[in-house]
Structure formats: C-alpha cells, structure tokens
Amino acid sequence: MITPLLRCLGYNEYRVRRFWALLEEAGSPLDIELYRYPPLSFSLTLIHRKGAVAHLRDGCVPLDELDCKTLGDECIRTPHSHMLYIYVGGGLGQAQVRVNAVRLLHLLHRRSPEAAERLLDAVVEAAWGRAGPERLYESVLEALRAGSDVLHLVLPLVPSTLEELARVSPALRRLAPLPGR
C-alpha cells in the first residue's frame, strides 16, 4: 500500500495523512490474530515503513526497479514515502509460513471475484462502523467456502457457521462481536 493507491481509492489528503498517522501510532509491526485453533494460529501482520517508492505517473500501483527501467519517464520515484506491507502468517511451533495478503486476495479473486469484492467491502464497512457484524461474518464465510478445498489441507477447522467463525477468530470477535453470542 502506498499513498498514490490510497488516493486512487478515493482518500482525500486529510484521510491519507490520518491513515499514515494511525499506523505510526499503532506501531510496526502490528499483529492481528485472525485464526486460533490450538495449537495453530494465523495473524495479519501490518508493517509500516518509510522509504523510496516508485509508481506510474497518475497510477496507483507500486512498481519495482525493473518496471521503472522498462517504463522510463512514466515511472515516478518518491524518496520519502509511506509504505504498508500486509502479510498473513502463522503456523504450528517452529513451522511458520508468511504470505502476502494481496496475493491471497488475488487467488480468492481468481476463484470467486464476487466473494473477494464482498469481503473487501465488508471489511471496510465494519472498520468504519457502517455495517452490522453479520455482513462481515457472512463475507468471511463465503471467502472460506471459496477456498475450502485448500484450507482443509492446512487448517484443522474451517469454519462453516457464524458461531464456529466467531470461536476461531479473535480479530472478528473484537472488530464485530455477534449480538447475543
């Protein structure tokens, strides 16, 4: 995540600055436990850094050095910019894995574009308090169903109900507690 991407997502200058300020206040790395079913656990890790960033002129997507060499003048370099790296990582004991969260969303999108879009929308709505928790839980369950054939190879319990999901996800319980549960 870089500032030009936030602008492309519709953030005005105040919201962009506030976004980065909130990340700086939270500290880096920030770990959010997504899944816990002892002895296995997975977290979302947010790593905030400042450094040189390259992106397309009037573009949203960060570029690497090879892309910049290929694109020439279309590549803009910003020397002191904010960057946010987002990973899903975890495992069992010493056996750990870490995967880029954008890569996971891309894989979900290839399987079910609708599920990926609903998941992202529900996370944003829940984070801003604009939707009830059921929508977030349902979109997470839909995403889990889309990848259940693979998830069953990794997770001892792939939640299939709202109650199971609430039981294994500390982050969801905190972000969007289910009423009466």
88-118 per-position pLDDT tens digit = 999 888 889 999 998 888 889 999 999 989 9
CA distances for 130 relative to 15, 124, 125, 127, 150, angstroms = 17, 8, 5, 8, 32
DSSP 14-60: HHHHHHHHHHHHH-SSEEEEEEEETTEEEEEEEEEEEEEEEEETT--
More confident residue, 180 or 34: 34
Query: What are the b/e assignments for 95-127, b being 16+ CB within 10 Å?
Result: eeeeeebeebbeebbeebeebbebbeebbebbe
Residue 48 in this model has a pLDDT that exceeds 90: yes
User: What pLDDT does 177 receive?
Assistant: 77
**Cα dihedral 151, 152, 154, 155 in deg (nearest 10):** 90
pLDDT tens digits for 12-21? 899 889 989 9
CB 119 within 8 A of CB 144: no
Residue 181 in this model has a pLDDT that exceeds 80: no
C-alpha 144: how far from chain center: 15
Element (H, E) at 95: strand 95-100
Q: In terms of residues, how long is the chain?
A: 181
Task: Return the number of other C-beta atoms located less than 10 Å from residue 136's C-beta.
Answer: 24
User: What pLDDT does 179 receive?
Assistant: 67
pTM given for the model: 0.78
User: What pLDDT does 132 receive?
Assistant: 75
CA distance 60 to 64: 13
Mean pLDDT, residues 160-177 taken together: 88
Residue 63 in this model has a pLDDT that exceeds 90: no
Give the confidence band of 35 by pLDDT, cuts at 50, 70, 90. very high
Mean pLDDT, residues 155-180 taken together: 86
Tokens of 135: 């929508």
Of these ranges, 58-67, 75-84, 121-130, the one predicted with the greatest mean pLDDT is 75-84
Of these ranges, 7-11, 151-155, 176-180, the one predicted with the greatest mean pLDDT is 151-155
